[in-house]
A and B are shown apart, each in its own frame.
Chain A
């Protein structure tokens, strides 16, 4: 990497822990020397390296190589034939980050970059503002790497996400408010305390980690860029970084240039980006979130503007689904492919279903769904909606009666 550069005005800054342009508050982004990267990052070189996100290390913003999260990434890409049939599409793939190492969400990708870079910059304390998954990942990776960690979350998060941060010994601070309020407070805390806030002052490095999901998809599809990719949107950052990852591998000659479209998925209860996209706007109106998809509940999405731009440029689209549709989609994914995703994964599957049904994603094409987090963390969302086990005595007669009863109700 060469410098940080404002995405709005192009002013360049040194590679420090800073995230906004002093002039127009535009987000800063890492600039790479692609001519140099081209020389070492070849297909054989990548394939000779360990199966983790760091096999693309030249395209990730650390100077001396990774020191945190060496095993993160290279999650399975599943050919989802049974789900494809149910959604009515010829070919479907699931990029399964529900099993990302170590904290079971795609956030391990961004955190491994942010903490590796934080170490290079000499920090001993790391922090984040989080809707849950990021908190889990910062807590876990900081514990493994020996950082002190502060994680800030909305106080009403799912129990699973709270315990999943506390267990690692992180300082967990619950804020009585929604994520946008947590975020605002963290911006003020970050200005006062000299910590590496992964999604505040470390954001330019942090956000780049998401690209690894896209590189892996391309490599796992035998160096082909998928024609349609559906990504859930909270801040919109992941969607823009998947796009960037495809552009980069094409630019480096590692994948052939093809047309591809990127689609965004939101929950109706927090859909500032998809609402703007559906109305043909290139800016969004902030909202107050109210959805079970808490990991996506960002009412003022920082990268919303760029997510809209990405969808427009690639010819993609956005849509959103209700809480009931989210639960149905979580179940559909679990019943067809054996993958238990958290609410955000339900959003992605449910929106994909809508996009296929409406013809925005053609039936005779192939699509990739990015599933970003594990359902074991959001059990509250499905509790009471998936039935209950039937209880019987340890008696064969009772079991036979149960089966006979079921056969009767199946026939009627």
Chain B
């Protein structure tokens, strides 16, 4: 079984409108690299020049923010769901 990545609307132009993409990666960092190899250009949307996840991008593994886990080193196991979500205003 693979891991599922939910692609947010602003990035779907890059994934041929695919909403869910499956990856085999073992960590978040590897998942981003794997996405990049299949959908060139997607990596620079997610990480900055220093290789850090952009400050307005939130990445979640099974609904937990990776900043509460191990950031890009967060390990992935089969069946995990990864969400990429832009920051939202208050409420």
Contacts and interface: CB of A to CB of B under 8 A. Distances in A.
Contacts of A21: 10
Contacts of B87: 25, 27, 300, 302
Nearest to A128: B91
B70 interface: no
B67 A134 contact: no
A23 B90 contact: no
A300 B83 CA distance: 15
Contacts of A116: none
A179 to B, nearest CB: 7
B48 to A, nearest CB: 8
A203 B89 contact: yes
B70 to A, nearest CB: 14
B88 to A, nearest CB: 5
Contact of A25 (B10, B60, B89, B90): B10
B65 A286 contact: yes
Nearest to A305: B55
B45 A23 contact: yes
B10 A20 contact: yes
A100 interface: no
Interface in A168-201: 177, 179-184, 186-188, 191, 199-200
Contact of B10 (A22, A184, A288, A301): A22
Interface stretch (A231-239, A256-264, A373-381): A231-239
Contact of A199 (B55, B68, B88): B88
Given A187-B85, A234-B90, A286 B8 contact: no
A187 B86 contact: yes
Contacts of A130: 91
Contact of B88 (A22, A129, A305): A129
B76 to A, nearest CB: 18
A131 B88 CA distance: 13
A53 interface: no
A391 interface: no
Q: How large is the interface on A (under 10, 10 to 19, 20 to 34, 35 or more residues)?
A: 35 or more
A285 B90 contact: no
A131 B83 contact: no
A369 B89 CA distance: 22
Interface in B7-22: 8-11, 13
Nearest to B87: A302
A366 to B, nearest CB: 28
Given A8-B56, A21-B10, A305-B55, 11 more contacts: A20-B56, A20-B86, A24-B45, A25-B10, A25-B56, A27-B56, A135-B91, A186-B88, A187-B88, A188-B83, A285-B67
Closest 5 CB pairs of A and B: A235-B90, A302-B87, A130-B91, A234-B90, A25-B56
30 contacts: A19-B86, A20-B10, A22-B11, A22-B45, A25-B10, A25-B56, A27-B56, A27-B87, A128-B91, A129-B88, A132-B91, A179-B91, A184-B58, A186-B88, A187-B85, A188-B83, A188-B85, A191-B8, A199-B89, A199-B90, A199-B91, A203-B89, A234-B90, A237-B90, A285-B67, A286-B65, A286-B68, A298-B90, A301-B90, A302-B89
